[in-house]
Amino acid sequence: MDIPLDVWVDAAMDWVLATFSGFFDLLGQIILYFMIYIEKFFLWIPWPVLVIGVGLFAWRVTGRWWSGFLMGAMLFFIGALGLWKLGMMTLSLVVASVLISLLIGIPFGIAMASSNRFEAVLKPILDGMQTMPSFVYLIPALMLFGLGKVPALFATIIYAVPPVIRLTNVGIREVSPSVIEAAHAFGSSYWQILFKAQLPLARPTIMVGINQTTMMALSMVVVSSMIGAKGLGLEVLLAINRIEVGRGFEAGLCIVFMAIVIDRITFALATNKKH
């Protein structure tokens, strides 16, 4: 027996394109403007300001001056290689995808924590989003939005949003039942308990989820470059096509440095209770 699943999926995509093409065009334009403004903002900031600012902020959140110095030095190294503009393009894509992922992920995580039935439905979907090869969902993204930044953003969100959903759910569920009972005893409503007890106590776990979402978004930069997203990923892709080892190593090292800076700062924010 041969189930024609591919035919059914193709027919469903044709129907979506025929029915909602105007909606996706409008959505794509809105998201594109949003991404362009973020990219212009990062390109507008003078590089010494960003390097020093990141260094000082890293010093503050980690509590170690040498850690801040290393973070600033890594960003300086990206500029010294002549890849600052491409690095800021990559950073803008990561920031845009993470912001949208958080707007989607945290409410879904709260809903999962509030309903066992919803959690049971959503978990297999999250499993599929994390394990499905990224090239598979690049195809519908391309069909809906064409080449460029927008399909790259959607592909990144699909890959990066599950951790923040899962860890928001876990963080809220791990809040002590005695805290919830005490809040109920004082007459607190559901929303008061959520915003004044559960979310503050779940903050470290949620911050770890944000950290993982950010790292996964950054790991998609090379794949995103295949559908028109510029940045360091495009440099890696060009180096692969032209077999230029040095060029690929430079761009790859810049991605690694950017990942280290983002990881250390977000991890420090997750573990430092003063912030």
Q: Give the span between the Cα atoms of 132 and 155, in whole angstroms.
A: 11
pLDDT digits (tens, 9 = 90+) for 158-208: 888 999 999 999 999 888 888 888 887 877 787 888 888 888 888 888 888
Q: Where are the beta strands (DSSP E) in 186-232?
A: none
Using only C-alpha atoms, the chain has a radius of gyration, in whole angstroms, of 21
Mean per-residue pLDDT, 51-56: 90
Q: Give the span between the Cα atoms of 49 and 55, in whole angstroms.
A: 10
Work out the mean pLDDT of the chain and round it to a whole number: 84
Q: Give the span between the Cα atoms of 94 and 87, in whole angstroms.
A: 11
How many other C-beta atoms are found inside a 10 Å radius of the C-beta of residue 199? Answer: 17
Domains annotated for the chain, with CATH where assigned, are 5-44+81-271 (1.10.3720.10)
Say whether pLDDT at 275 is over 60. Answer: no
At 63, the amino acid letter reads G
Q: Which of 155, 133, 271 is nearest to 210 (CA)?
A: 271
Per-residue pLDDT band at 273 (split at 50, 70, 90): low
At 61, the amino acid letter reads V
pTM of the model: 0.85
Mean per-residue pLDDT, 195-223: 84
